[in-house]
Amino acid sequence: MLFAVRWPDGSQQEFYSPSLIVEEYLEPGAAYPVAEFVERCRTSLMIASDRVRAKYGMGCAESAISLATIERTASAFPEGDVRVERFRR
């Protein structure tokens, strides 16, 4: 599944999760403080990767890339909100 977000500066990015678990941590249309958004993504993407590991014997590289990009981008915004724009299955 893909989820699109809008950062505090108005820029948009889309991220990949191999599991729908992200729907339990993020809600389309909701805005989260940057730190909370990162923590929600970290939790959901780690669960998603663990599910892939349990099924295939290795974690999901794409979810690791998504998380690294989220953490790197978030570091540029010490405050502000991240809005979840949409999910795409």
Write out the chain's pLDDT in tens, 89 residues: 999 999 999 999 999 999 999 999 999 999 999 999 999 999 999 999 999 999 999 999 999 999 999 999 999 999 999 999 999 99
**What CA–CA distance (Å, rounded) separates 7 from 46?**
21
Residue 57 makes CB contacts below 8 A (sequence gap 6+) with none
Strand partners, 23: none
* DSSP annotation string for 30-78: -EEEHHHHHHHHHHHHHHHHHHHHHHHSS--HHHHHHHHHHHHHHTT-S
Half-sphere exposure of 41 (CA within 13 A, CB side): 30
**pLDDT score at 77:** 97
Note the pTM of the prediction, 2 decimals: 0.95
